[in-house]
Amino acid sequence: MKENRIRILYIDDEIHNLNAFKASFRRSYEIYTATSAQEGKLLLKEISVQIIIADQKMPVSTGVEFFNEIKDTLPDPMRILLTGYTDVEDIIDAINKGHIYSYIKKPWDEHELHKTINNAYEIYRTRKQLREKIEELEKTNDELNRFIYSTSHDLRSPLMSVLGIINLSRLDNSVTDPNGYVNMVETCVLKLDDFIQKIIEYYRNSRLEVEYEKIDFNTLLNDCITAFKPQNTQIRFQTQVEQAVDFRGDTFRISVILNNLISNAVKYQKPEETNPMVNLAVKVEPHKATICIRDNGIGILSEHLNNIFKMFFRSKNNNKPGSGIGLYIVKEALSKIGGTINVESKYGEGTQFEITIPNRNEFDT
Amino acid sequence: MNSIPDLRVILIDDNEIDLLLHEKLIGFQQISRTVISFVNANKALEFLSSNITLPKIPPTMILLDIQMPEMDGFEFLQAFDSYPHKIKSQCHIVMVSSSLDYGDITRTNANPMVIKLLRKPLLLKDLKETVEGIFKDFL
């Protein structure tokens, strides 16, 4: 508790004032004292305080002069001026220039001084929290920008080379391709590029309002399956959609979620599995939709389950390292639309994700 | 396509596959018989500065990538801007990038030295139109 006490520096050339102050307040605050501005400055080099109280009338430097001198090097502590006589001009000037937070008349009223100190500290604390929050936000924004930039370049650049090669092979007719494989390659590359662009879009629009529209899960799931099937043609997809009532939700975010989860289910299959499968079940109720994505793939180590939604976390025990971003996006997208996610997994047996998304149908709005 | 006499094309791209692709496209369209490729923008600058001794600088089209390690496309432009008029006036710079970054695109469009930004994959049609646009007085 003691460590959390407010630290105050009180500067006054009259020692009995310093003693009186200590006597009244030492139980409430951590108090440092100095008999001159000079001594006070030395002390401030060693100790960081939240509040500085200075007497106005001191030899050499006055209180206002002292505050003026330190305000650039120590802008954070709250400054309170103590004054025995009414040198109004100086005080008004100092307050207007923002050098001091408040002034107290001598002899001080104990209750009033208490209140002033506590109010000053409250402002100090709020300012500090605000600064910390701003720093945090700047860091997050910076991460976001770097992510968008590397996505738009590092991921797209090789894809665009592939498209360039396909275009060239058509121009010079150098590839014999009676079964149209090159076209299939192109279709997949374009789909993947489309998805990359969607991720970028998602981040760009992350501050924009969520948009609700009618969603048909059969169509949505089929689109996803068409996109991922070519990656592993062995996989048997099973879908089961129970959609008796209309569902309204944010199409873009929901497809981002499904794309990521289905992509993982397809990617992390056991190589030796003779019957790889991905099971997709959707159940729409008036107030929510429950979507279950189950696979019989390699599964996730139980000690990694807590971390899989963290940005850039990659589970170590697989030889197909991902980008470490997919499930993070899933979680972020879900939190935007008020959804939840649960994961169950047995290493070597498979994984099941269950997500619930609120249904924003007419009854809701 | 009507060839422009002694037109040369300089390609600057850290991706060797893209360099090859662009070289082939230029050959396919018979835009120029002289294609000089650089995987490093610094090397391209060195080459261009060595041109100062030539009695006459040939008309030149530069296809410049944006994101490259060491020196990126914008840094190249900045350095090249200080080159003598004799060289600069003969060089027509076209940026070629797969970037979707809003900043890259606006910076490219705002640069007076850049004639155009072409998207990757570079299409024959776009390349042809751009060359015709730049050298319309020659044709």
Q: How confident is the model at residue A1 (pLDDT cuts 50, 70, 90)?
A: very low
Question: Which is more confidently placed, A231 or A189?
Answer: A189
**B14 residue type, one letter:** D
User: Of B72, B98, B122, B126, which to mutate for an interface test with A (greatest number of A Cβ within 10 Å)?
Assistant: B98
User: What are chain B's domains?
Assistant: 8-134 (3.40.50.2300)
Please write the tens of the pLDDT for every residue from B19-57: 999 999 999 888 888 999 999 999 999 999 999 899 899
How far is residue A242's CA from residue A122's CA, in Å, rounded to a whole number?
55
Tokens of A267: 């990617």
Round to whole Å and give the CA distance between A358 and A250. Answer: 10
pLDDT over threshold 70, residue A85: no
Q: How far is CA A299 from CA A127, A291, A326, A345, A346, in A?
A: 47, 19, 16, 6, 5
- DSSP-assigned letters across all residues of A27-38: TTSEEEEESSHH
Q: How far apart are CA B22 and CA A169, in angstroms?
A: 13
Q: How far apart are CA B100 and CA A148, in angstroms?
A: 9
Helix (H) or strand (E) run with residue A326 in it: helix A326-337
| Smallest Cα distance from B29 to chain A, Å | 10
Q: Do A161 and B17 touch (CB under 8 A)?
A: yes
Residue with tokens 């997919």: A326
How would you classify the pairing of strands B114-119 and B91-97?
parallel
Residues A289-318, mean pLDDT to the nearest whole number: 85
Going from the C-alpha of A4 to that of each of A7, A28, A125, A127, the distances in angstroms are: 9, 11, 12, 17
Q: State how far the alpha carbon of A351 is from the alpha carbons of A266, A292, B76, in Å.
A: 11, 10, 50
Q: Does A192 touch chain B (CB under 8 A)?
A: no
Strand order in the sheet with A78-83: A30-34, A7-11, A51-55, A78-83, A102-105
- The mean pLDDT value for A178-204 works out to 80
Instruction: Note the pLDDT of residue A333.
Output: 86
Say what the pLDDT of residue A314 is. Answer: 74
Q: What's the pLDDT score for residue B76?
A: 97
CB contact under 8 A, A160 and B121: yes
Chain A residues whose CB is inside 8 A of the B15 CB are 157, 161
pLDDT at A216 over 90: yes
In three-state secondary structure terms, A213 is strand
Say if residues A249 and A359 touch (Cβ distance below 8 Å).
yes
Q: Which residue among A153, A164, A197 places its CB closest to the CB of B21?
A: A164
Cβ-nearest to A171 among B67, B98, B124 = B124
Phi-psi region of B18 (alpha: psi -120 to 50; beta: other; left: phi over 0): alpha
Is pTM, for the whole model, over 0.90? no
Split at pLDDT 50, 70, 90, the class of A137 is very high
The tokens for A231 are 């990656």
Do B25 and A156 count as a contact with CB atoms less than 8 A apart?
A: no
Residue A205 has pLDDT above 70, yes or no: no
Task: Inform me whether the C-beta atom of residue A161 falls under 8 Å from chain B C-beta atoms.
Answer: yes
- Residue that is written with structure tokens 């107290």 in the block: A104
The pLDDT of residue A194 is 66
Interface test with B, best of A154, A166, A168 (most B CBs within 10 A): A168
Residue A330 confidence (pLDDT):
87
Number of neighbouring beta carbons within 10 Å of residue B69: 9
List the B60-64 sheet strands across, edge first. Answer: B34-38, B8-12, B60-64, B91-97, B114-119
Contact A247, A361 (CB under 8 A): yes
pLDDT, tens only, B68-125: 988 999 999 999 999 999 999 999 999 999 887 767 888 999 999 999 999 999 999 9
